[in-house]
Structure 1
Amino acid sequence: IDPNKGTAAKCNYCAHRIENSYEPACVIVCPTESIISGDLEDPESRISQLVTTQNTTVRKPESGAVPNVFYIETSEEMLDPAATDVTGLGMSTDQAFGVGHFAKYADNRLEAADTSSMIVQLALEKKARQAAPRDQAIIRDVMERLGEEVPDAKRSYDQPTKGVLWGWEVAAYIWTKAICSGTYIVAVLSMLTGMVEMNDGLWMQTIGIGLAFLALTGLLLVIDLDRPERFLYVLLRPNWRSWLVLGAYVLGG
């Protein structure tokens, strides 16, 4: 979340660049060429060959999803946020004191980076650029030694402790939309089972309650945004392939 504009920047894989046969910006600017993009379905592409020949890991393999992002020779601590200790120390740990809706309340950085760790990191990045087999072996040896000397991994970047969990608005709209649909379902089931004889008055009450909670659901969704007025963009500049747009029109209607 941009603390000045209150808006979120979401990665779209640089679609405007991909359409013109350019690589994503993150691939271009990465000084160590650690980010590789390409066509995974093309066996001749570099990324496909890396995935085939290297020891790769994906996030949450137990979910059964088909991943498009692979990590080479990574560790569990790098992919599982709960596997690392939150220390609050480091050059890039500012977000620990305000992320998401709390970004505008972020405090100043408390501690400076560990100089020794920075020197090791810079040395490894310099060697990684050369990509020589001997240098890669040295890097693996150093990383293994560091892993032995540090029993518990510690996060050095992006340690959110605020703004991660959903606020009351999200929890409330789950209830309101459940009441909206549940009211109509109970009315229909009561009529079908003969428990209640539905007349025009009861139907009007049922529809009225449902519409009221449906409107409250939409209101809570908009209130949850840092910039509620941006909700109009979904209606005025819609992407008809997005389920978010279709849902917004249903709620708005």
Structure 2
Amino acid sequence: MSDSPLLISDRDGVRVITVHRPEKLNALNAATLDALHTAFDAAAEDAAVRVVVLTGAGPKAFVAGADIAEMAGLTPVQGRDFSQRGQRMMRRVERMPKPVIAMINGFALGGGLELAMCCHLRIAADSAKVGQPEINLGLIPGFGGTQRLLRLAGRAAALELCLAGAPIDAARAHQLGIVNRVVPAAELDAETMKLATQLATAAPLALRGILDCIIHGGETGLEEGLEYETAQFGLIFSTDDMREGTSAFLERRKPEFHGR
């Protein structure tokens, strides 16, 4: 029996990575952070993987937060190191060259919401709850929560969630722009895989170009971002996928993309 905190499976170009610590509501400890980093490295390098879906085991939690039992005894230096470890992993997810979808099946609190926010897209069950409750433990978010929440939902919402520490339901999270879609819990897997399968059939190099432009370019000023987009647009014209896509359109047939 594997001691890995993750379950990994593949479905037609979609890699599903499940945080599997149900007895801890999938809380993130150091070993889980490292396992996730390794898993995303592997998914990035595997040409057969077009899209990654990230979720949590069991019906209760996506990831309920960082592992409080592990954090409680940390020194200031160890706390900083733990924060950096989490931020490195989440930056790895955010900088993936393939789309990453968070399938939020339950509580996404603290480190769990931070993990969901570093994914490119988020689909939540209508029963899910999200939040940054660190203030209730005398802590602040440490895996990027203050920064990604600010960028996704704006200053007012980021301050409210981080200062008050109260979770919000999926509908409110959708209203604030924290999640892309909310679906009935019973349909979460099917709806997420429907989107993942759609993306898995799209042109991989074009997907990567879009991710690069929005993630990398979005961290620069407008002029730099526009220049980056132009450079990526030009590069796409060197690909077989671009020629296949335009030819298929003109010939009124469905394109077949191969990532070349």
From the two aligned structures, give the one with the greater strand fraction.
Answer: 2
Q: TM-score, normalised by structure 2?
A: 0.25
> Could you state the TM-score of these two structures normalised by the residue count of structure 1?
0.26
Of the two, which has the highest radius of gyration? Answer: 1
